Chains A and B, each alone.
Chain A
Amino acid sequence: MEDQDQEEGSSDESMPWQIVKDDVVVIWWRPIHRKNIFEKGDIVFPRGVGGRDAIIDGGGATLVPVAALYQYLSLEIEIEVEVAIEMAVKLPDELIVQIISFYQQKRFFVAVQLPDELIVEIISFLPAKSLLRWRSVSKSWLNLMSSTKFKLMHLHNFNQLNPRYFVRRLDFYASEEWFRVHFDNEAFTSDRGTQIEFPLDDIRVNICFRILDGLCGESLAVMHSSDLYGLKSGSTYTYTEVAMGKPLRLRNNGDMIVELEKGDTVMKKH
Chain B
Amino acid sequence: MSKKTLTLMSKDKQLFNIEEHLAVQSVTIRNMVKEDGASSVIPLPRVDSETLALVIEYLNRQQAPEEDEDYVKKFVDERGEIPTLLELAQAALDLDIKKLMDAACMKVADLIKDFTLEEVREALRIENDRTPEEEKAIRDEFQWAF
Interface flags for B77-96 (1: CB within 8 Å of A; 0: not) read 00001110010011001000
Which residues of B, 84-126, contact A by the 8 Å Cβ criterion? 86, 89-90, 93, 101-102, 105-106, 108-110, 112-117, 119-126
In the bound assembly, the distance between CA atoms of A138 and B129 in angstroms comes to 6
Does B117 contact A134, Cβ atoms closer than 8 Å?
A: yes
Contact of B4 with A by CB under 8 A = no
Does A134 contact B113, Cβ atoms closer than 8 Å?
A: no
- Whether A138 touches B138, Cβ cut-off 8 Å, given contacts A121-B105, A125-B106, is no
Contact of A83 with B by CB under 8 A = no
Does B145 contact A132, Cβ atoms closer than 8 Å?
A: yes
Does B106 contact A138, Cβ atoms closer than 8 Å?
A: no
CB distance from B116 to the nearest CB of A (A): 8
In the bound assembly, the distance between CA atoms of A79 and B105 in angstroms comes to 28
Chain B minimum-CB-distance residue to A106: B128
Contact of A118 with B by CB under 8 A = yes
Looking at chain B, what size class is its interface with the partner chain? 35 or more
Contact of A137 with B by CB under 8 A = yes
- Whether A110 touches B90, Cβ cut-off 8 Å, given contacts A126-B109, A130-B113, A133-B142, is no
Interface residue SS majority, chain B: helix
In the bound assembly, the distance between CA atoms of A113 and B86 in angstroms comes to 11
Contact of B139 with A by CB under 8 A = yes
Does B119 contact A114, Cβ atoms closer than 8 Å?
A: no
Contact residues in A for B112 (Cβ distance below 8 Å) = 122, 126, 130
In the bound assembly, the distance between CA atoms of A135 and B135 in angstroms comes to 9
Does A122 contact B105, Cβ atoms closer than 8 Å?
A: yes
Does A139 contact B142, Cβ atoms closer than 8 Å?
A: no
Measured CB to CB, the residues of A under 8 A from B are: 48-50, 52, 65, 106, 109-115, 117-119, 121-127, 129-130, 132-141, 161, 228, 241
Contacts A/B (CB < 8 Å), 5 sampled: A112-B125, A122-B109, A130-B113, A132-B142, A140-B129
